[in-house]
Amino acid sequence: MKKARFSTTIKLRGGSSLTVRAAGSGDEDALLAFYKELPQDERLFLKDDVTSRGWAERFIERIQRGEAASLIAESGGKVVAEATLYRATHGWSTHVGELRIAVARSWRRKGLGTALAGQLLHLGADQGADKIVVEVVQDQTAALRTFEKLGFQQEAVLRGHVKDANGIRRDLLVLANDVSHIWAAMEALVEDAEFERS
């Protein structure tokens, strides 16, 4: 996968704007600070321990190896959202990308999650991905709605695949869509975001 290096301004619902740029070497501390502030119950639904320095270092290495592209949205020098597109560099699923998105609570419901997903879908398509998947834990209503509105559909359910903070098993839903199918829904949704690529 080609390394993405770009910077974009996104105008959000309500009038605020944010700079979004590709994450890379040197962003470890900012990413850790962001993920440490995410509510614990939401962090538990992410596959990795995103609060450990080891994770941050391995994550940046994956970006440098071309296995992941990460966008960070910043306000006042702080990361307020992060979105990643993972791509296998070899094997039978190199045409498939996997998305993960997290937005700080105070920045939600302004269209930021949708805009970041839109940016990564463009990037995935640019880089040759045909299909994008996202894993969402049962009851993550915000995530389900965000991706469904972008045209994702449920493709698989892994029963009891995730244990929450109380040890209760929850289903993991795999949502998927072809990038070509995503375009129409995405462009309608993010047309207000006024991307200014620099």
Ligand X SMILES: CC(C)(COP(=O)(O)OP(=O)(O)OC[C@H]1O[C@@H](n2cnc3c(N)ncnc32)[C@H](O)[C@@H]1OP(=O)(O)O)[C@@H](O)C(=O)NCCC(=O)NCCS
> Which residues make up the interface to ligand X (CB under 6 A)?
42, 100-103, 108-114, 134, 136, 140-143, 145-146, 149
Listed in sequence order, the DSSP H helices in 6-111 are: 28-37, 40-43, 53-64
- Of 56 and 112, CB closest to ligand X: 112
| Angle at alpha carbon of residue 146, lines to 176 and 82, rounded to 5° | 90
CB of 42 to ligand X, least distance (A): 5
Residue closer to ligand X by CB (options 21, 100) is 100
The least CB distance from residue 102 to ligand X, in Å, is 4
User: Could you give the CA distance from residue 36 to residue 43 in angstroms, rounded to a whole number?
Assistant: 8
C-beta of 141 vs 166, nearer to ligand X: 141
| 64 and 24 Cβ atoms separated by less than 8 Å | yes
Tokens of 184: 């129409």
Least distance (Å) from ligand X to the CB of residue 101? 4
Minimum CB–partner distance for residue 176 and ligand X (Å)? 13
Q: Which residue is nearest to ligand X (CB)?
A: 113
Whole-angstrom distance, CA of residue 79 vs CA of residue 188: 27
